[in-house]
Chain A
Amino acid sequence: MNSIAFLVISVLTLAAALAAATLRNLMHAALCLPLVLVGVASFFFLLGAEFVGLALVFIYVGAVAVLIVFTILLTRRGVEKDPGFHWMGVIIALAVFGGLTWSILQTHSLSIVPPHIRALTVRKIGETLMTGYVWPLQCVGLLLTAALIGALVLVMEEKR
């Protein structure tokens, strides 16, 4: 049953990704992106990493997708013109794909059998974050607070 689910999800995810990359209407492409992310999140669910999947949906579908959609709305209008076909793009894409595949096949990690991992519970993630990774967590928190204050400063009404 897992393999059937894997097949269905991967076909949907790939189709959505293709649509996001090729659709002429920019807004349609932007709306396909959350679909891809939901597909990736369901992969995480399938692998038992619920927290990662939920965080993905929460951050990317809930916030980043809306941000992208708004950016498009506020900057561009209408349908983009057909930019024509570039052979150079195809060559670069194939080169990148080939290079990545080659380097992945070169590594030794492929031959290592993955150790059996127990289900990744939210509790375990929380404990790890609060014990071993306290400093990185606090630094990220500080960074985000600074970003929030920066955003507030940017939109503050200037006194005349």
Chain B
Amino acid sequence: MPFDVAAEVIANRPLSSDFNVLALAAPAIAALSAPGQFVMVKPGTGLDPLLRRPFSVFEVLRDAGGTPTGITILSKRIGASTSLIYDARPGQHVACLGPLGRPFTLVDAPTEAWMVAGGVGLAPFATLAESLRARGVACTLFYGARRAAELFFLDFFRALGVELALTTEDGSLGEPGRVIAPLDRQLAARAPSSSVMIYACGPEGMLAATARTAAAHRRPCEVSVERIMGCGLGGCYSCVVPMHSADGHAHHVRACLAGPVLAADQIVWD
């Protein structure tokens, strides 16, 4: 059962002129969150913006004794809600409903975990990397952004022992171009006998390309899809994803209930 809390803003850390990390006091949600799950957030109490917005749980915050105290969300300012989230002040309260949705499937060693993140699609991978590293799984993060200044939390992933393969569209850090190129290359270099699980989150085009690349190399792949959601609970049918079904027709499933994590090879990509 999800919890709905008026979560106090503990901290708001700007990462750039658009990106920020908002820390919310929400112990019950933090305690139940699994990597890949999301929360529905409404900053402000007015009618505009009216609806909540979905965000992956970015980090689970813990006190000195390890007890979960809250969560953070990684946000990119693109509209009214994300502007309010960017400008939120400590002490303010934010409606936060969760945890919601189906989490990532965790693998065990010797299977390796290769995470593919584009931009704000980094969000679900902090908790996923933590969980997988705690299980002794070797992890690589393929992480692409427009420029070096939009590649965040690199030290966090390095400290966890996650291998990094970075790309920027302007070539200011890592390999110039998109993140699919190093993914494809490294998959090609892998012995087919080795076991690799691919996880992806980012823009729809990147997810489709990751799905194609994973399929070409016969590797399993889970993607966390982003959709406009009305409720996050299965009530509104706004957030559907077309999936292959037995009768050959595309079947719309709700990303909030069946996802946001879905098997890449079951999605009907455009």
- Pairing of A with B: no
A residues contacting B by CB (< 8 A) are none
